[in-house]
Amino acid sequence: EDQVTQSPEALRLQEGESSSLNCSYTVSGLRGLFWYRQDPGKGPEFLFTLYSAGEEKEKERLKATLTKKESFLHITAPKPEDSATYLCAVRNQISGSARQLTFGSGTQLTVLP
Amino acid sequence: KAGVTQTPRYLIKTRGQQVTLSCSPISGHRSVSWYQQTPGQGLQFLFEYFSETQRNKGNFPGRFSGRQFSNSRSEMNVSTLELGDSALYLCASRTVSNNEQFFGPGTRLTVL
Answer whether B93 touches A (CB < 8 Å). Answer: no
CA–CA gap between residue A31 and residue B106 (Å, rounded): 26
Count other C-beta atoms under 10 Å from residue A91's C-beta: 23
> Which of B43, B48, B99 lies closest to A32 in CB terms?
B99
Nearest CA in chain B to A101: B45
DSSP A11-26: EEEETT--EEEEEEEE
Nearest in space to A38 (alpha carbons), one of A89, A79, A73, A85: A85
pLDDT of residue B96: 75
The chain A residue lying nearest B97, using CA atoms, is A97
Is B105 touching A (CB cutoff 8 A)?
Answer: yes
Q: Taking a C-beta distance cutoff of 8 angstroms, is the pair B32, B48 a contact? A: yes
Q: Nearest CB to B42: which of A46, A91, A103?
A: A103
Beta strands in B51-98 (DSSP E): 53-57, 64-68, 74-78, 87-94
- Tens of pLDDT, residue by residue over A13-69, are 999 999 999 999 998 888 899 999 999 989 999 999 999 999 999 999 999 999 999
Gap from A79 CA to chain B (nearest CA, Å): 24
pLDDT tens across A72-106, in order? 999 999 999 999 999 999 987 665 555 678 999 99
Chain A residues touching chain B at CB-CB below 8 Å: 31-32, 34, 36, 41-46, 49, 87, 89, 91, 95, 97-106
pLDDT at B97 over 90: no
Is the pLDDT higher at B2 or at A14? Answer: A14
Q: Cβ–Cβ of B33/A36 closer than 8 Å?
A: no
Q: Give me the percent of chain B exceeding a pLDDT of 70.
A: 99
